[in-house]
Chains A and B, each alone.
Chain A
Amino acid sequence: MSSPNELFTQPLAVINIGLQIFAEALQVQGVSCVHVDWRPPAGGDADLMAILARLNS
């Protein structure tokens, strides 16, 4: 890829991570899109993430 502009001049294949609404918006426009159901661990709570990291270490 020599230039970012080239990205938008060819068919896109998108991997969407997180909010499904973005994937749906692309699919409505006919853009090929794979959705990955992902959310931050423990809702992004730093204290809980630290506990989980400890228990899963």
Chain B
Amino acid sequence: MKNIIDKANQEAYERIDSAQVFLTDIKYAREVLPTLTEYVIGHAGPPIAWPDMCGPMQGAVIGAIKYEGWADGDDEAMSLIESGRIRFVSNHSMGAVGPMTGMITMSMPLYEVLNETFGNRAYCTFNEGLGRVMRFGANDGEVVARLQWLEKTLAPGLKKALMLSGPINLKVIITQALAMGDEMHQRNIAASLLFGRAIMPYLTQVDMGSEGAKIVQFILGNEQFFLNLAMAAAKATMDPAHGIKNSTLVTAMSRNGTQFGIRVSGLGDTWFEAKPEMPQGLYFPGFGPEDANPDMGDSAILECMGIGGFAMGSAPAVVRFLGAGTVQDALGYTQEMGEITVGKSNSILMPALNFTGVPMGIDIRKVVETGIQPVINTGIAHKRAGLGQVGAGIVKAPLDCFIKSLVAFNKTLN
């Protein structure tokens, strides 16, 4: 049996390693995600019903309804939800991802990322910036107005710039940024600037009227701007590794703020779920662990392809932001993740670790056998809707997800 599983995992690993991902276009959700019709909302993590959603997720849902104009105010939005008119769908099931609450509705603009090696595409929303934003559950007029600006101003500008620039190689940017100290989850400074360098010569050729300066400021003024691009790149990278018979490789980890779930290549579309752990990290002034919402978002797709927490050894600057101890601890995390992965990347290399590739492709057998839990770098949301990010830290994927999937995998062999 070992040889059969190892061979299947090697195939999955090689598909991840050989991915070539490009930002090719900006599309509106209604154009490319047919599930997202009127009154349908995509969310982060495994499928979840309204009563089970955490505070920030519920707040974001109300915001998404107002953004689409399906209701005028909070009360009307609540009535719509309670009437059962709103349908919820997991982003991953549509080939899409979103950070934190991960809201996607039909009018939202999305990055379209093509995995040229396999021809598949993946999608992610734009990063809204920091502060009061929908991904943390905020839903007031300012939040909705910003989303409308992304839809009506930034998206058309970026789309035109991309038509001039041609596809932008995101794997190259990720590799370069890793060498510059980013791990692409909680540190995207270098990657955001590299993306800015790639798009600005073309963006400045686009007639953006009086909005030009605002668009440039929005892209370059947000150190996490690249996060959503990295997520779309990771989703496009991981999807071809899914659905390989006899493979025990993890193709997605994601959280809806209530449950943590994983999907395994050889186990179809089933989510194996467990209660998420609380992030351990540093809190912004005035906040503490009592304010924190459980771990949330589709962004753990980054760790599946070996960046984020798995590449922390190459991102020493992020260690203190996360309260993750010393640089030596960061090296230790990366080395430990090598114990539970199928292989190392041949192209995403870590100079600080003598150009070793990032550890890539989590094997559920190795997680259960060693008890080593995948480490994820994460933002920490306030548990009340709309208060935003209150810190950043490290969280470990709950072991129970991997145990449940291993037991299920074993049953498929009976």
| A residues neighboring B (CB under 8 Å) | 39, 41-43, 48, 51-52, 54-57
Q: A42 CA to B368 CA in the complex, in Å? A: 5
Stretch of B64-72, B181-189, B322-330, B402-410 with 4 or more beta carbons under 8 angstroms from chain A:
B402-410
Asked, given contacts A42-B369, A43-B371, whether A51 binds B406 with beta carbons under 8 Å apart, the answer is: yes
CB distance from A51 to the nearest CB of B (A): 5
Q: A48 CA to B369 CA in the complex, in Å? A: 8
Q: Does B248 interact with chain A (Cβ within 8 Å)? A: yes
Residue-wise, chain B 59-100 has the 8 Å CB interface mask toward A (1 for contact) of 000000000000000000000000000000000000000000
CB distance from A19 to the nearest CB of B (A): 14
Interface residues of B in 376-414 (CB under 8 A from A): 403, 406-407, 409-410, 413
Cβ contact within 8 Å between A56 and B365: yes
B contact residues around A56 at 8 Å (CB):
1-2, 365
CB distance from B274 to the nearest CB of A (A): 15
From the candidates A39, A43, A52, name the one contacting B365 in the complex (CB within 8 A): A52
Chain B contact patch, size range: 10 to 19
From the candidates A39, A48, A55, A57, name the one contacting B403 in the complex (CB within 8 A): A48
Cβ contact within 8 Å between B369 and A57: no
Cβ contact within 8 Å between A51 and B407: yes
CB distance from B10 to the nearest CB of A (A): 15
Cβ contact within 8 Å between B5 and A55: yes
Task: State the majority secondary structure of interface residues on A.
Answer: helix
From the candidates A42, A43, A55, name the one contacting B1 in the complex (CB within 8 A): A55
B contact residues around A43 at 8 Å (CB):
371
Q: 24 A-B contacts, Cβ less than 8 Å apart? A: A39-B371, A41-B369, A41-B370, A42-B368, A42-B369, A48-B368, A51-B406, A51-B407, A51-B410, A52-B368, A52-B369, A54-B1, A54-B410, A54-B413, A55-B1, A55-B365, A55-B406, A55-B409, A55-B410, A55-B413, A56-B1, A56-B365, A57-B1, A57-B2
CB distance from A39 to the nearest CB of B (A): 6
A contact residues around B368 at 8 Å (CB):
42, 48, 52
B contact residues around A41 at 8 Å (CB):
369-370
